[in-house]
Structure 1
Amino acid sequence: MRVSLFITCLADQMYPEVGESVVRLLHRYGCEVDFPELQTCCGQPAYNSGYQDEAREVARNLIRAFDHSDYVVSPSGSCTGMVHHYYPQLFENEPEWKAKAERLIAKTYEFSQFLVGVLGVKDLGAVFPEKVTYHPSCHAMRLLGVKSEPGELMAHVEGLELIDLPRKEDCCGFGGTFAVKMADMSEAMVCEKAANVCATNAGVLIGTDMGCLMNIGGRLNKENKPVRVMHLAQLLEEGVKNGERKHGK
């Protein structure tokens, strides 16, 4: 199975280790992974700021970058959600590009969605004996409908104790350009989210979007809270290594 990695801006610039974890796990299940270097941003920052013409140009470039791909997998529900939910709107008056956008949509998946829904993988043989809580990102949950997949993957991790996050459906306050335009409101939201994370007494916070993890992790760090912040792919890769050591593989 040939898969192209859609790394996203935040992973590329700030969390490259998340992309590495995704690639290693995909290789583990027989995927041949490539990285189209033509890819840049999905266009979401421009789109959210009202610059639709600029977002359209960026979107065209992403469509070109993955034109050859059989599957496109991303460690971000937000960027994947942008492609799925907003690309048809961007090209509603351009039939040729709308058709190209729809072809990209049909083969583009968020990481956990791809593992569970396409590869049929739920149990990776991972071991992670920690108390963990999970923040579901707004875009993955609401735009893509990614709800059960992360939980299904974590449910099969040996030793992992998943503690329900209070008010987990609430936004963390990042929202891309929202955090810049509405800084005071964004800060109030992330303070509440960080307090809810701490209320679980979990030692690890898991998420599927780097924007959320950066925002919540930054707040936890500012408050000197000893909570480790990880992307789901990092948790699974570390758990797989733990499992191999435990079972002598």
Structure 2
Amino acid sequence: MRVGLFVTCLIDLMRPEIGFSAVKLIEQAGFEVVVPPAQTCCGQPAYNSGERRIARDLAEKMLREFEQFDYVVVPSGSCGGMIAVHYADLFADDPELMGRYGRLRAKVHELTDFLVNVAKVELSPGHFVGPVTYHDSCAGLRELGVKLEPRALLAQKGVEINEMKGCEHCCGFGGTFAVKYGNISTAIVDEKCENIRASGADTVVLGDLGCILNIEGRLRRTGDTVTRVLHIAQVLAEDI
């Protein structure tokens, strides 16, 4: 079966290695992976900024490019949430688009959700050394319900998890929130970084690159050059 991989803007531009890890995991699960070369943004930044026309245009573009696939996999809770939840608002006034979107929506999965609930993978123990702590990104958790899946996959790989205090609390990124409300964002991510340190793990793992950039950036700016911040695809594929 064919999987359309929605790479996301941030992964494409900032950490393409995460995309390659996602491809490896999906292919190892027995699926053909296709990455439509013309894909761009899911429209979330425009949507969050009130630019509905731009967001609608991008949503229609995404729909055209991905509705052909058996499944659509997104290695990001944030972009996955935009596609799976908020496109319904953008298409609400167009029955034809809503019908097409409804068929697409049923095929959209965040990466770990796909691996656990669709592919039903059984991963072999890997060579990762040391405990990790896991950060639940807001959109992945609250919009897509992703909670147990990443932890189940890490357990399959034999990775020890030290749960941090407030693992479900926001990291402060929130897309344009971090730009509009910098001081509040900084206070939120400072608390997240402190909880990561207090967990006793030297690695924090998560499923959203926006959170990765925000957390890693703050750790480095405050002098922490040791704590690793990794996307779960990298850990599962052992691309670290």
Q: Could you say which TM-score interval applies, normalised by the shorter chain?
A: over 0.9
Note the 1:9-28 alignment, pairs <5 A: 9-28=9-28
Superposed displacement of residue 100, structure 1 = 1.5
Give the aligned residue type for 1:25. L
DSSP-derived class of the 1:206 partner: strand
TM-score by length of 1: 0.93
How far is 1:102 from its partner? Answer: 1.4
* Structure 1 runs, 4 residues or longer, greater than 4 Å off: none
After TM superposition, list the pairs within 5 Å mapping 1:6-155 onto structure 2: 6-155=6-155
Aligned to 1:170: 169
What 5-or-longer segments of structure 1 have no aligned partner? 242-249
User: Secondary structure of 2:201's match?
Assistant: coil
Deviation at 1:127, TM superposition (A): 3.0
Which stretch of the first structure deviates more once superposed, 13-22 or 64-73?
64-73
Match of 2:213, as an amino acid?
Answer: M
Alpha-carbon distance between aligned partners in 1 of 2:101 and 2:79, rounded to the nearest angstrom: 14
Structure 2 spans left out of the alignment, 5+ residues: none
Using the alignment, how far apart are the partners of 2:106 and 2:9 within structure 1? 22
Q: TM-score, normalised by structure 2?
A: 0.96
C-alpha distance in structure 2 between counterparts of 1:112 and 1:200, whole Å: 23
* Map of 1:207 onto structure 2: 206
**1:136 deviation in Å?**
0.4
Aligned position for 1:245: none
For 1:184 and 1:170, locate their aligned partners in 2 and report how far apart those are by CA, in whole Å: 17
Question: Do the aligned residues in 2 keep the contact of 1:38 with 1:62 (CA within 8 Å)?
Answer: no
Percent identity, please: 48
Within 2, Cα distance between the matches of 1:40 and 1:155?
33
1:51 deviates by 1.0
Alpha-carbon RMSD: 1.3
Specify the SS of the correspondent of 2:97. Answer: helix
Cα distance in 2, alignment partners of residues 172 and 179 from structure 1 = 10
CA distance in 2, matches of 1:111, 1:36: 17
**1:95 Cα offset (Å):** 0.6
- Report the 3-state secondary structure (helix = DSSP H, G, I; strand = E; otherwise coil) of the residue aligned with 1:214: helix
Distance 1:83 1:71 in 2: 13
